[in-house]
Amino acid sequence: MAATGTSAARTYKSNVGVPEQNRQALIALLNSRLADSINLRSQIKWAHWNVKGMHFIQLHELFDSVSSHVDDQSDTIAERIVALGGVANGTAREVAARSGLKEADLSASDGAAQLKWLVHNVAHHANAMRTAVQEAGDLSDDITVDLFTTLTRDLDKDLWFLEAHLQ
């Protein structure tokens, strides 16, 4: 998992009822999860475009569905960052510098090989979100706790769908 950083991030005035010192930490936490989310979405799209084999259409469509979910989650995270008065760091270079996910297995092409690394990275992302639930709770932001809880629940469901193909 990428470090959330210690320097103060640029912020804008916000009347959200979260203390400034907590907002800084929450924005950093959210930006870490945003980096992983955007990275994961690009990896899933790569798998969607490049999967081969007997179950091509099933996996092609499944990967597209999971990618869409992760894309929506990225937007939700970014909007929470901005609602807290922060700046959402989501350019390709920012994401590459901040994401804690392993690189996709770019040598994989058949469904089973694609699924193996996707399951690993989706699980890593879901578990980082699960940890973020606790971290946001420690920062007394129940709204961000709820956001991370909802995203974790959705990721767990997508993980189940991916893992079911390997069992």
* Per-residue pLDDT, 151: 98
pTM for this model (two decimals) = 0.91
Inside any domain, residue 5: no
Beta bridge partners, 52, equal 110
Output the average pLDDT for the chain.
Answer: 93
Inside any domain, residue 8: no
3-state secondary structure the chain: CCCCCCCCCCCCCCCCCCCHHHHHHHHHHHHHHHHHHHHHHHHHHHHHHHCECCCHHHHHHHHHHHHHHHHHHHHHHHHHHHHCCCCCCCCHHHHHHHCCCCCCCCCCCEHHHHHHHHHHHHHHHHHHHHHHHHHHHHCCCHHHHHHHHHHHHHHHHHHHHHHHCCC
Distance CA 74, CA 154 (A): 13
Inside any domain, residue 1: no
> What total of structural domains would you count in the chain?
1
CATH number at residue 80: 1.20.1260.10
Inside any domain, residue 26: yes
Inside any domain, residue 15: no
Average pLDDT over residues 143-156: 98
* Per-residue pLDDT, 9: 66
Instruction: Give the domain range for residue 126.
Output: 20-99+107-164
Q: What is the pLDDT of residues 32-74, one digit of tens each?
A: 999 999 999 999 999 999 999 999 999 999 999 999 999 999 9
